Structure 1
Amino acid sequence: MRTTKAHSITGWIAAMGATLLATVFSASSVSAQLPAEDAKDWKLREEVGNIRVYTVDQTDSSFKAFKAEALLDTPIENLMAVMINPESCLEWVHNCIESYAFGEGNFHDRYAYSVNNMPWPVTDRDYVLRIQTRGNRASGEVIMDLNAIPNQRREFDGRIRVDRSDTFYRFIPRGDQTKMIWIQHTDPNGSLPGWLVNSLLVDIPVRSLQALEKVAQKPHYQGFELVYDDAGQLISVRHSTE
């Protein structure tokens, strides 16, 4: 049988995950700096098809946080097949031009490096991220937290390291569809023109979610399943032929 890239990545995560985390992280402990999903101050900024984007001020930052909600026409298994591929940022995240895993990690707790392309003359930003994943069979939901850990890798010339970025993904199965909630706040460091900041807050989630829906329908992201332990906790995402 031909081994796909996503299939091989699953094997990599499984190999790294021989010892699973003993603690299941809670949403409040990991994403404490992000506004709540149901915070009353969210303001609708854009509605495109099945995607709604909201923003809210952050009291300790000059940059707003955004929340994107979408009902994606693809099952949760396909989306998680995309998410476990450390290079999938290139396929769906708007302006992502480099992405790969690094260091030791496992399915629940791993690390990635990525670069966002910025329009000239703005300097590209790079991210060093800790990615934590959890889920349970009872709800069927999967939650991911991506938090900047800037000092875990040396800085590179020609790129500005983002030292504050917090992202929360919630995937909620709806039969053959999936509701996705994406909350993010990033302080991109350095001076940025206001027009660029405002456009990124809307363009990134809208274009990214439109791309994600299409990417998750590609052949090499089909045929995956969520794997749970005896306690009903999510422990892996694997191809059904494994």
Structure 2
Amino acid sequence: MRWFNKMDYKHYALGWVAVLFSLAGAAFADTDEGWQIRKDEQGITVYAREVADSPIDEIRASASIQAPYPVVLALLLDHTARPQWNALCQEARVLQSGTPDEQRVYFYYKMPWPVTDRDLVMALSVNDADGVAIMKGTAIADDTAPAGKAVRVLKAREEWRIERLDENSTRVTMTALMDPAGPIPAWLINAMSVSQPYEAMEQLRLLASQRAVAATAQIKK
């Protein structure tokens, strides 16, 4: 089996970010230049771009969701629900909640053989104002969640933008940059570079729509 070199490592980041759909010591660039579309189907678009002084590509995925803004925001703030829309996220639990807008959350990801599982603790915060919410997450060291057999990811960052489009639709955009903390087989890089972010956003959209329908039915009772 071939293990990836530096160029493969950049392409691998596309898949790994999607696997975690949450998480790089480097900060996000302020510009919107340089993005290249990797997939654009069914209202879901996956982008990638190179980052200066980093062997890892930055990832962006965006989708329009037929669900009201409060429903979509509540779903993304329900961190324990991540396994419902991220197929490889096996566990998600809140370790500490300083305020409703700031939390430390543990995530465990079950990776396909022969890759070792990954886990991480993220400090997550949200700013919600005028129909636009920005949720940011950064991987941190946290002794309250001792590393077991999984490889602990310590360099990861994500940003979610949740934007009200109208009364019944919302746009979600995720941007992420991370270091997966170890080598991954080339076949897994290729398999996940586009499919994982796309499928995760697809499942997020489905779950949000289901919650919107359930909320409407509850109101009518």
Aligned to 1:130: 123
Partner letter of residue 147 of structure 1? T
In structure 2, relative to structure 1, the CA distance for the partners of 1:149 and 1:157 (3 Å cut) is: same
- Partner SS for 2:75: helix
Q: Secondary structure of the equivalent of 1:155?
A: coil
Q: Which amino acid aligns with 1:194?
A: A
Select the residue among 167, 175, 178 that pairs with 2:158: 167
Q: Which amino acid aligns with 2:70?
A: E
- How far is 1:32 from its partner? 6.8
Do the aligned partners of 1:147 and 1:166 also contact (CA within 8 Å) in 2?
yes
User: Which residue does 1:39 correspond to in 2?
Assistant: 32
Alignment length, in residue pairs? 193
Evaluate the alpha carbon distance shift between residue 191 and residue 32 of structure 1 in structure 2; reply closer, same or farther with a 3 A threshold.
Answer: closer
1:73 aligns with 2:82: no
Distance 1:200-1:164 versus aligned 2 partners, 3 A rule: farther
Query: Is the Cα–Cα contact under 8 Å of residues 147 and 167 in structure 1 kept in the other structure?
Result: yes
2:84 paired residue among 58, 66, 91: 91
Deviation string, structure 1 residues 196-223 (Cα, Å, up to 9, x no partner): 2344342232111111111113348854
Q: Distance in 2 between matches of 1:79 and 1:154?
A: 28
- 2:43 is the counterpart of 1:50: yes
Change (3 A) 1:152 1:133: farther
Once the two structures are superposed, what CA deviation does each residue of 1:77-136 show, in whole Å capped at 9, x if it has no partner? 111221222211111123111101012422211110001121101001101001100021
% identity of equivalent residues = 24
Aligned mates of 1:157, 1:69 — CA distance in 2: 34
Q: Which has the higher helix share?
A: 2
Aligned to 2:195: 203
Question: In the alignment, does 2:172 pair up with 1:180?
Answer: yes
SS at match of 2:198: helix
**Whole-Å Cα distance in 1 between the matches of residues 80 and 213 of structure 2?**
13
Q: Structure 1: which 5+ residue stretches go unaligned?
A: 1-30, 225-238
Root-mean-square deviation (CA, aligned residues, Å) is 2.4
TM (norm. structure 2) is 0.79
Counterpart of 2:139?
A: 148
The 2-side partners of 1:94 and 1:204 are apart by: 9
Alignment of 1:93-112 (within 5 A): 93-112=86-105
- 1:219, 1:172 → 2: CA distance? 18
1:192 aligns with 2:184: yes
Paired with 2:188 and 2:51, the residues of 1 have a C-alpha distance of: 18
Paired position in structure 2 for 1:6: none
